[in-house]
Amino acid sequence: MSQIVSAASVVAAAIAIGFSAVGSGVGLGIAAGQAVEGIARQPEVEGKIRGTMILSFAFMESLTIYGLVVALALLFANPYIS
């Protein structure tokens, strides 16, 4: 039974980090594209757009770090593996 739980933990960790990385990557790409489009339309507000974009990038990357924490917990802090 322990080998099945170990294998399931590894698969779950891979899924957790994979989905969080893909989701963050898509979100970062959309946000960067919209920011570039906004700067191209109104160059005078470049500083405000850039500041908001960088702040939103930090929030999006924090969600990826949460996925990494979940994956590491599944791999190394699993109470079901003896």
**What homologous superfamily does CATH list for 2-76?**
F1F0 ATP synthase subunit C (1.20.20.10)
If you search the block for the tokens 């969080």, which residue do you land on?
20
pTM check: above 0.85: no
Instruction: Measure the CA–CA gap between 42 and 38, rounded to whole angstroms.
Output: 6
pLDDT tens string 10-63? 899 999 999 999 999 999 999 999 999 999 999 999 999 999 999 999 999 998
Instruction: Measure the CA–CA gap between 30 and 67, rounded to whole angstroms.
Output: 20
Residue 10 neighbours by CB under 8 Å, 6+ apart: 74, 75
pLDDT of 69 strictly over 60: yes
